[in-house]
Amino acid sequence: MAAAAHLTLLLVILFWSFTLTSQNQQHSQQHLIAELQDAKLKIAGLETMLEESIRKVNGKSNYIEERDKLVDDMTNKIHHLQSLLSKIKDDSSRAEERLNALEEEIRLLWAASRKNNFDIHNLESKALDAEDRLEEVSLQVEKMSEIVTEQWIQIQHLEQALHMAELRAANVQRQLMYARCTFLKAKGLF
């Protein structure tokens, strides 16, 4: 189906190339070249956005890794504090005060751990969103690249058609000159 559309497009372009003047053909080519340049600029912008998105995703991944390490450290500290707490419970009444302090520290650490887990979840969600946007930008870059290639092929076809039209026009001009010269020689004016 696409090949038929391309063939139809090619036939229309060839028809136009034979009916348009050289100036109109040059204007059309300049317009297509300008569109091609615009497409290249859009692709460059999309590539810049893609690089920026990749950089952000990498930064968020690094941040998530740091948070994971922090959570692991806090988990280890919590386990350590819990083991200290169990040892202290066996000690005297003075240890009771220390126990309360450690319990409060554990409570605070668990709260910090929950907050960090929440932050990690949010960051992972944002990273997934960024990856989705990255895929969208990548698809746009691919589409624009295909459009640029297709327009470049169309320009090449137009240039070939223009060249053929110019050759035909030169042949017709030579034939007209030859016919005039023959006519003038036959009349004895030349």
Rounded mean pLDDT, 54-70: 90
* Predicted confidence (pLDDT) at residue 17 exceeds the cutoff of 60: no
Residue 170's pLDDT is what? 92
Is this model's pTM higher than 0.95 or not? no
Residue 84's pLDDT is what? 82
* Predicted confidence (pLDDT) at residue 159 exceeds the cutoff of 90: yes
Tens of pLDDT, residue by residue over 90-128, are: 666 676 787 788 899 999 999 999 999 999 899 899 989
The CA–CA distances, whole Å, from 45 to 34, 49, 50, 149, 188 equal 16, 6, 9, 17, 70
Rounded mean pLDDT, 150-157: 91
**Contact in structure between 13 and 153 (CB atoms under 8 Å):** no
Nearest of 109, 110, 112, 116 to residue 67 by alpha carbon: 116
For 162, residues 6+ apart whose C-beta sits below 8 A from its C-beta are 17, 22, 25, 26, 29
Residue 134's pLDDT is what? 87
Q: What are the structural domain ranges in the chain?
A: 24-187
Looking at per-residue pLDDT, the higher value among 71 and 13 belongs to: 71
CATH code reported for the domain at 24-187: 1.10.287
| Percentage of the chain modeled with pLDDT above 70 | 76
* Predicted confidence (pLDDT) at residue 160 exceeds the cutoff of 80: yes
The CA–CA distances, whole Å, from 18 to 43, 49, 164 equal 33, 43, 9
Rounded mean pLDDT, 160-186: 82
